[in-house]
């Protein structure tokens, strides 16, 4: 049985993961409208991934005898200056999510909830990958600078990244 304290903390994480999904969906929609199809595919894929992270938490809470609550998510930002701003936001948001996961892990240690601690290790590993990916994308954007040809190639390559939205991804996207 999950403690009410851990249950409440995991429900807050559901809110963050669901908001992340919507945030990346808003970014993807903006990018698509601006003609960045590859960036849009990449972000649609990440929106789906964040939703999967949320659903994994829902299942865990319910399987452990708690009740996962689906909150109303805050509306995400819908307009962005450029692709660089989007990926700066992605990185800072992923760092925030990592900090929240680490706080959950710390709470599990304090509460001696080793089952949830074990469950959260997947999220710890996932966040390392998410932050690394965002930093890699920003490094590429730094190399490109203001070069429009470079941005064209960047957009194309991002949509075709293995494991990203480019292959068998998102309906028409």
What is the dihedral sign for C-alpha 120, 125, 126, 128? positive
Count the Cβ atoms, other than its own, within 10 Å of residue 60.
Answer: 18
Q: Is 173 annotated as a binding residue?
A: no
Q: Which domains does the chain have, with CATH numbers?
A: 4-159 (1.20.1260.10)
What is the dihedral sign for C-alpha 117, 118, 122, 124? positive
Render each residue's pLDDT in the chain as its tens digit; 173 residues.
Answer: 999 999 999 999 999 999 999 999 999 999 999 999 999 999 999 999 999 999 999 999 999 999 999 999 999 999 999 999 999 999 999 999 999 999 999 999 999 999 999 999 999 999 999 999 999 999 999 999 989 999 999 999 998 876 554 433 443 33
Question: For the chain, what is the largest distance between any 2 Cα atoms, rounded to a whole number of angstroms?
Answer: 56
Q: Is 17 annotated as a binding residue?
A: yes
pTM: 0.91
């Amino acid at each position: 049985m999950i403690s009410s304290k851990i249950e409440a903390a995991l429900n807050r994480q559901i809110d963050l993961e669901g908001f992340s999904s919507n945030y990346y969906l808003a970014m993807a929609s903006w990018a698509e409208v601006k003609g960045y199809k590859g960036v849009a595919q990449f972000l649609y894929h990440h929106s789906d991934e964040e939703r999967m992270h949320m659903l994994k938490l829902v299942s865990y809470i319910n399987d452990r005898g708690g009740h996962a609550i689906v909150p109303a998510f805050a509306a995400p930002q819908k307009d962005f200056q450029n692709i660089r701003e989007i990926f700066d936001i992605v990185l800072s948001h992923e760092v925030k999510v990592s900090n929240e996961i680490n706080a959950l892990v710390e709470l599990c240690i304090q509460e001696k909830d080793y089952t949830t601690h074990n469950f959260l290790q997947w999220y710890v590993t996932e966040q390392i990958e998410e932050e690394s990916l965002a930093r890699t994308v920003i490094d590429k954007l730094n190399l490109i600078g203001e070069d429009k040809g470079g941005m064209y190639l960047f957009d194309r390559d991002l949509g075709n990244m293995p494991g990203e939205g480019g292959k068998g991804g998102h309906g028409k996207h």
